[in-house]
Amino acid sequence: MRIDILTIFPEIIEGALKASLLGKAIEEGVMEVSVTDIREFATDRHRTVDDAPYGGGAGMVMKCGPLFAAIESLKPRNSLERVVLLSPQGRRLDQTVVRELASVPDFVLICGRYEGVDDRVRTGLCTDEISVGDYVLSGGELPALVIVEAVSRMLPGVIGNWESVTTDSFYGGVFGPPQFTRPPEFRGVSAPEVLLSGNHAAIRRWRRKEALRATRERRPELLSACTEEDRTLLAELDREEAEREREIES
């Protein structure tokens, strides 16, 4: 897979691409991530990539020319079939979007800045817009890194143990289960006995049940596509909660 990132601050991104499993995956050729400095495609001696907005108003707007030239420079290396503008107006990033991006051979991420990009970039170049949440950042560089990190985890060879991916929050449509490690007891709080039992079927069932519990408490809308086993476990949770309420009342 190849990912091209367009930005006016390549230094924000380049350091992160060298770290941890992501850096190892890039070094070993599992994925290729290239950072393009949009300023290199400015035509004036000051490398200007922004200008005042037509119609007046605060802030500056990223210009068409450098962005179009930067995108077009990628043609020999990127199909340009998926060009993503990182924008607060885009569709919300979730695991479904991550899977979608991980299924294509290449895509481009455009990091906006200032008051945004000239809308002719959005309509003339971009095939998609993605937002990482309903809040404001100074630019698209951190969202780009979030997307690269999330997509990288879906690629075979990036995570050594694929089970680590399949138990991630949202991978199976729900949060991940609680995790424990040594020591078995810490300051009077013990790890669940089932996790120490060696009974893999019981452990798997406990983890799914606890994942469903956390999801129902915090993001119940994620439970719209439950399996038959999930419904059985949710019914057990209902019974347990009803029993606790009876104990409290008594």
Q: List, by residue number, the catalytic residues.
A: 88, 115, 153, 168
Q: What is the DSSP string of 58-119?
A: SS-EE-HHHHHHHHHTTTTT---S-EEEEEEEEEEP-HHHHHHHHTSSEEEEEE-BTT-B-H
The CB-side HSE value for 207 (13 A sphere, CA atoms) comes to 17
Structural tokens at position 100: 């979608």
Give residues with Cβ within 8 angstroms of 200, minimum separation 6: none
Percent of the chain that is helix, strand, coil (3-state, to 5): 45, 15, 40
> Is the N-terminal amide bond of 183 cis, ω within 30° of 0?
yes
CB 77 within 8 A of CB 2: yes
Task: Check residue 157 and give left, alpha or beta (phi > 0: left; psi -120 to 50: alpha).
Answer: left
